[in-house]
Amino acid sequence: MLLLLVVIFTLSACASSDNEPNGNAGNAQYSAGSDNQEAEADAGAANDAEAQGEDAASGGGELIVVDQNIAASLDPVQPLTSSYLRKIGAAEALFKVNAAGETVPELAEEATQVDPTTWEIRLRPGATFWSGAAVDADAVIASLERSRANDAQAQPFLAELTLEKVDAATLRVTTSRAQLPVPLNLSYYQTVIHNAGQAHDSVETMDLTGMYRVTAFTPKQSMELARNEHYWGAAPAIERIVYEEVADEQTRVLSALSGRSHVVYQIPVTSMPQFESREDVEISAEPAANTQTVYLNLSRPQLADVQVRQALAWGVDREELVIAAAEGQSTPVTTWLGSNPAFAEAKNAVYSAYDPDQAGALLDDAGWMLGEDGIRYKDGEPLQLRLMTWGQDQALGEALQSQWGRIGVQVEVQHGDYSLIQTARESGDWDASIEAWSTFGEELTLLQGQYAPEGSGNYGGYNDEETNALLAQLAEAADQQSRRELTLQINTRVAEQAPVISLYPRPQLTAVSTALQGFEPHFRQFEHIVHAGLTLAAR
């Protein structure tokens, strides 16, 4: 059986969206003090590990990481490539976000806000690319400009920034609007720093800065990495990493349970019982800063009525959804920003409790009357909607189908590939769909993306004068307190108008072997998962 499992894992490590915009305001000065403390802690953990066993003492060991998807390319400007490179310890940005949600320096040493539209960033001395080339102002600007020109996903974070060299160790960033949190924008994975003068089409020519170098790569199958012996920071204790793509969720589960892998991402919630009695592997269930959201097509006649949308929002028992669809591995939120740790007070705003009676009253007022068959009708037409789901959200769709059925709404759940949702949106032939966008980031960028008329995440065509006016005020707000107040007002206004229905943060389950010490859960999984303090106990 062991041999059979090894063969299955070997053969299945082959080809298979969580959507994320960004930004978030922080302090006017960012120094490397806390980051140096992290580096010292990492180094201390590595030193402690040397006394734990021969494997750690030799500085060796091989970490095996399994994911649902890995990169299809080595070039950081190709779609999603930079997220996987950063996740596995190969790529770094000027800044990073720690598990507490604080923006701290990475390749930068310090950032200072000179005035409302100007920042100066001093680079970390001694930082180099794998090739030995210096990470200086020229290299950083060339990298970010290459990302701006070639990576459409980098545009939201770079479009409002003008970069110029002050000296070899310093660059000046000018923003097109006041109080833009530049360090946070430059922490996102699309802004990883790479040597723009090198070709990134092979492991021999790619040139990044991370503590691990890529040594072998098969697109959408596997990536092998070795410790970067000339890394500018604390040297990692683990010598090698193997990063594999396993699209099938049950094969990923078996990889974790067999002990073959040390870290396995994207464990389905339905597999939680298989880990309950295990002592050799644990589930990390750090809540993600995103919100499982039902997007509604406001061009549909039944959904154009705000009372119908509000009734759907009141008719959701979020506590029940967390149990039925997330195996209890999340917490309810009633507004879109509720999953952002910086806006915890929004978690239970507006729809403060499950209230089917309120939902029924709103539908009555809107002219949708309950028939003898339990379905509501208006002008002889039933109140129907088709709810499209994908990935691991089928159970969530079916739970909503049951809950909305209790208030007289006839729901059809259509589960399939995400491409079906995209096609339906392009044609306009859809009623409702579920997905989760990140809620952590710079407030205006996030909210415009979701609720401005031309926002990339405004799938349903929401166009509300009051919301638009508040967004315009937020764009002009000069201080952080005003920005916060306006952000909460927009969040509340949108919830009241209900173009979307917020449910709970999408579960983020990772299986971690107890042989691996130092794993750090993070609400942004691509952030700082592989770090110098990781150690492997001898087996």
pLDDT in tens, 454-477: 988 899 999 999 999 999 999 988
Dist CA 91 CA 209 (whole Å) = 6
- Identify the weakest region by mean pLDDT among 41-55, 103-117, 127-141, 404-418: 41-55
Domain co-membership, 413 together with 515 = no
Dist CA 401 CA 386 (whole Å) = 10
pLDDT band at 152 (very low <50, low <70, confident <90, very high): confident
Q: Are 491 and 346 in contact (CB under 8 A)?
A: yes
Percent of residues, the chain, with pLDDT higher than 70: 89
Dist CA 425 CA 443 (whole Å) = 26
Domain co-membership, 44 together with 189 = yes
Max Cα-Cα span within the chain: 77
Name the strand (E) or helix (H) holding 12: helix 2-12
Q: What SS3 class is residue 451?
A: helix
- DSSP of 312-378, one letter per residue? HHHT--HHHHHHHHHTT-S---SSGGGGSGGGGGGTT-S--S--HHHHHHHHHHTT-EEPTTS-EEE
Domain co-membership, 27 together with 75 = yes
Taking the C-alpha atoms of 266, 267, 268 and 274 in order, what is their torsion angle to the nearest 10 degrees? 180
Task: Look at residue 57 in the predicted model and tell me its pLDDT.
Answer: 36
Q: What is the CATH number of the domain that holds 380?
A: 3.10.105.10
Residue 126 CB neighbours (<10 A): 10
Q: Which of 94, 110, 282 is nearest to 192 (CA)?
A: 94
More confidently predicted of 41 and 213: 213
Phi, psi of 436 (to 5 degrees): -130, 120
Domain co-membership, 356 together with 443 = yes
Q: What SS3 class is residue 119?
A: strand
Domain co-membership, 151 together with 46 = yes
Q: What angle do CA 252, 247, 187 make, to 5 degrees?
A: 95
Domain that holds residue 485: 290-504
Task: Look at residue 358 in the predicted model and tell me its pLDDT.
Answer: 98
Q: What's the one-letter identity of residue 518?
A: G
Q: What SS3 class is residue 385?
A: strand
Dist CA 81 CA 520 (whole Å) = 22
Dist CA 459 CA 426 (whole Å) = 10
Dist CA 511 CA 283 (whole Å) = 5
Q: Which of 397, 26, 89 is nearest to 233 (CA)?
A: 89
Residue 420 CB neighbours (<10 A): 16
Q: What is the mean pLDDT of the chain?
A: 88
Domain co-membership, 71 together with 161 = yes
Q: What's the one-letter identity of residue 534?
A: L
Residue 294 in tokens: 């039902």
> Distances from the Cα of 290 to the Cαs of 3, 55, 60, 322, 340, in angstroms?
40, 38, 37, 14, 7
Q: What is the CATH number of the domain that holds 245?
A: 3.40.190.10
Task: Look at residue 522 in the predicted model and tell me its pLDDT.
Answer: 87
Is residue 287 over pLDDT 80? Answer: no
pLDDT band at 54 (very low <50, low <70, confident <90, very high): very low
Q: What SS3 class is residue 283?
A: strand
> Distances from the Cα of 465 to the Cαs of 342, 444, 451, 471, in angstroms?
26, 16, 11, 10
pLDDT, one tens digit per residue, over 77-86 is 998 799 999 9
Domain co-membership, 185 together with 228 = yes
Q: Which of 455, 453, 459, 451 is nearest to 433 (CA)?
A: 459
Mind spelling out the 3-state secondary structure of 37-74? HHHHHHHHHHHHHCCCCHHHHCCCCEEEEEECCCCCCC
Residue 399 in tokens: 């739970």
The domain tally of the chain equals: 2
Domain co-membership, 363 together with 484 = yes
Residue 455 CB neighbours (<10 A): 17
Domain co-membership, 214 together with 305 = no
Which residues lie across from 128 on neighbouring strands? 134
Dist CA 492 CA 8 (whole Å) = 50
Domain co-membership, 494 together with 522 = no
Domain co-membership, 301 together with 251 = no
Task: Look at residue 91 in the predicted model and tell me its pLDDT.
Answer: 97
How many Cα atoms within 13 Å fall on the side-chain side of residue 46? 21
Percent of residues, the chain, with pLDDT higher than 90: 71
Domain co-membership, 218 together with 315 = no
Q: Are 381 and 366 in contact (CB under 8 A)?
A: no
Place of tokens 């978030």: 24
Taking the C-alpha atoms of 457, 321, 274 and 506 in order, what is their torsion angle to the nearest 10 degrees? 20
Most confident among 71-75, 121-125, 283-287 (mean pLDDT)? 121-125
